[in-house]
Amino acid sequence: MAITRLHLDDEALRRTMAMSGVHTEQDAVNLALRFFTTHATPEDLETPIHMRAATA
- How does pLDDT run across 13-36, given as a tens digit for each residue? 999 999 999 999 999 999 999 998
pTM above 0.85, yes or no: no
Q: Provide the pLDDT for residue 38.
A: 92
Q: Provide the pLDDT for residue 35.
A: 92
Helices 25-38 and 10-20, axial angle in degrees (round to 10)? 80
3/13 Cα distance (integer angstroms): 18
The domain ranges of the chain are 9-37
13/27 Cα distance (integer angstroms): 10
- Is 56's pLDDT higher than 70? no
